[in-house]
Copies of this chain bind each other. A is one copy, B any other.
Amino acid sequence: MTSPLIDGLQYANWSEKVFRQMRAGRVDAVHVTITYHETFRETVLVIEQWNRWFEQFPNLIFQGRTAKDVKKAQETGRTAIFFGSQNPSCIEDDIGLVEIMHTLGLRFMQLTYNNQSLLASGCYEDDDTGLTRMGRAVVTEMNRVGLVVDMSHSGERSTLEAIEHSTRPIAITHANPHDWHPALRNKSDDVLRALGRSGGMLGFSVYPHHLARGSECSLTSFCEMIARTAELMGAENLGIGTDLCQDQPDSVVDWMRSGRWTKQVDYGEGSAANPGFPPMPDWFNDNRDFGNIREGLSETGLDADEIDGIMGGNWLRFFADSFGPA
């Protein structure tokens, strides 16, 4: 089996077009966001929609549940879709929903999305108070059932405490080093080193607000950043997590940022002057462009095994270690 191609996060406006582009790009597996601020019942409605897509497009996609499904995707020429949540709204205030969501196929859950949650502090709060009492209990339960803790949108202290409290490696599925581009969403060297030491994974984002020079970021700059991060935390702990939000209307970024928690407009990583989805860099527009990243990485001095790992092999190993019961 050749080394797999895995994307550690996407939230596209899903359609047959996008699924066909996944196949054209030979993407074997994608961690897709199915829910942000939705309640449990609302999240189930989204899963119902995914079940319709799995029924409608069985030759393009199927639901991934274990690492073996990546191999199955390679063997059958399809893309395995792994579910994730960017906020813990789907478990409401009920720890029993952790196992229920895992049974329904959830494999990643962020403890926060920018704001304080019942579990931890988001990266946009003034004060990060770390894991809450419920947060510690839920991380323990996530460890038990095999639901990966994702701290992409969490604050520094919360992230360090999640790495420390979790008995299994965690993930930051879509973010870049703060040292390269000082966005609130990007991660400090302290966090990245602690993540690497614990065997956790970082997925590099190509969402323009996470990139040095934004939409103008060059492929060379992006790939050299990856190579430097490999020196910082180990190439084996790196993957891609594009945060591709393809074909989404701007109303969707408003739901992501403002949910039902404010009556104002929250611009998140954008601004009043630039409120919508920013244009993608010219070297990554959709699922057919992973080859550009692979080529860019080969210019950096990373060796072929390291590049295979970053393009999917490392996520595959992490999936195998993470998605089953402890």
Contact = CB atoms under 8 A, between A and B. Distances in A.
Contacts of A104: 100, 103-104
Given A103-B105, A104-B100, A105-B103, A40 B44 contact: yes
A265 interface: no
B40 A97 contact: no
A219 to B, nearest CB: 41
Interface string A74-117: 00000000000000000000101101100111000000000000
Contacts of A47: 100
A104 B48 CA distance: 13
A265 to B, nearest CB: 31
Nearest to A103: B104
Interface in A31-59: 40-41, 44-45, 47-49, 51-52
A48 B141 CA distance: 13
A44 B100 contact: yes
A51 B145 CA distance: 11
Nearest to A94: B48
Contacts of A51: 96, 99-100
Nearest to A54: B99
A16 B100 CA distance: 23
B41 A100 contact: no
Instruction: Classify chain A's interface size.
Output: 10 to 19
A100 B104 CA distance: 7
Interface in A132-151: none
B103 A48 contact: no
A99 B53 CA distance: 13
Contacts of A97: 44, 48
A35 to B, nearest CB: 14
A105 B41 CA distance: 18
A268 to B, nearest CB: 30
Nearest to A52: B96
Nearest to A39: B41
Contacts of A40: 41, 44
A96 B41 contact: no
A94 to B, nearest CB: 7
Contacts of A52: 96
A99 B48 contact: yes
Interface of A: 40-41, 44-45, 47-49, 51-52, 94, 96-97, 99-100, 103-105
23 contacts: A40-B41, A40-B44, A41-B41, A44-B97, A44-B100, A45-B94, A45-B96, A47-B100, A48-B94, A48-B96, A48-B97, A48-B99, A48-B100, A49-B96, A51-B96, A51-B99, A51-B100, A52-B96, A100-B104, A103-B103, A103-B104, A103-B105, A104-B104
Given A40-B44, A48-B97, A52-B96, 14 more contacts: A44-B97, A45-B94, A45-B96, A47-B100, A48-B94, A48-B96, A48-B99, A48-B100, A49-B96, A51-B99, A103-B103, A103-B104, A103-B105, A104-B104
Top 3 A-B pairs, shortest CB-CB distance: A48-B96, A51-B99, A44-B100
